[in-house]
Amino acid sequence: MARLAFDIETSALPLEQFDEVQREYLLREAERLADETARAARRDEVLRQLNLWPFTAQVVCIAMLNVDTQRGKVLFLAEDYEPDEGGGPVEFVPCAEESELLAMFWDLARHYDEIVTFNGRTFDVPFLYLRSAILNVPITKKNWLGYRFATEPHCDLAEQFTFYGVSGREGAARRFNLDFYCKAFGIDSPKAHGVTGMDVSQLLAQGRHREIAEYCLRDVRATVELFRIWKERLAGIK
């Protein structure tokens, strides 16, 4: 069966894009704080969190790899960017609009039976579903959330390396981030090259689209390597 590994990068929409009632709703908790310093800190925290919600952020990049062939595409938002002509196993494809990026992703996704992600059941898949619904982009795979305690059609490695949260937040199988797992298993960490997910909005504002795309691809390459380790050493343990 064809198996796809992917990761997305998101960036908050401008606060000015929301009307007064929406802005009040988003910042309500911060504005209730009496202390000015605490209020400013909470406001900054909320603004950072806007990246995490599909109703306040957009998808700016999706990197995809066929787990078996290592061939794939990276779709990323960029204006006036020349298409990649390198002819390598991974093609970088600039998209002018988010709706174009999502439509292209779903067109490619229909060829795959299974997916591999890191935290995709909690974040990537619902984010893609909701953004696609908001922009009225047809979704070709509607079963990717899947049953939580199964690895088909969705193998979420964040679930597998915690045995579905068996230890809670502090036990032996507590959850770590992808960077920590990569370093533990000797995989090249996507964050080792100086870019993290927290940098995406700033890179986007600076027009550094290709850097976002390359970072996202590193995430997916690391996910594929981690999947292979899980499959060889841990798959089947309940």
**Residue closest to 209 by CA, chosen among 56, 54, 82:** 82
Cα(179)–Cα(199) distance, integer angstroms: 15
**What pLDDT, on a 0 to 100 scale, did the predictor assign at position 194?**
73
Cα(13)–Cα(4) distance, integer angstroms: 28
Total Cβ atoms within 10 A of residue 23? 13
Hey, CA dihedral for 176, 215, 127, 207, is it positive or negative? positive
Extents of the domains making up the chain:
3-12+62-233, 19-55
Instruction: Show the DSSP H helices in the chain as ranges.
Output: 20-31, 36-49, 98-109, 125-134, 157-160, 178-184, 200-205, 209-233
Bridge partners (DSSP) of residue 115 are: 4, 154
**What pLDDT, on a 0 to 100 scale, did the predictor assign at position 130?**
98
Cα(67)–Cα(70) distance, integer angstroms: 6
pTM here? Answer: 0.94
State whether residue 54 is helix, strand or coil. coil
CATH number listed for the domain at residues 3-12+62-233: 3.30.420.10
Cα(115)–Cα(7) distance, integer angstroms: 11
**What pLDDT, on a 0 to 100 scale, did the predictor assign at position 169?**
87
Helix (H) or strand (E) holding 11: strand 3-12
Peptide bond between residue 126 and the one before it cis (omega within 30 degrees of 0): no
One-letter amino acid at 111 equals: H
Strands 90-95 and 57-66: what pairing? unpaired
Question: Cα angle at 73 between 71 and 79, to 5 degrees?
Answer: 160
Residues of the chain with pLDDT under 70: 80-87, 238
Who's near 57: CB < 8 A, 6+ residues apart?
10, 11, 12, 13, 50, 51
**What pLDDT, on a 0 to 100 scale, did the predictor assign at position 121?**
96
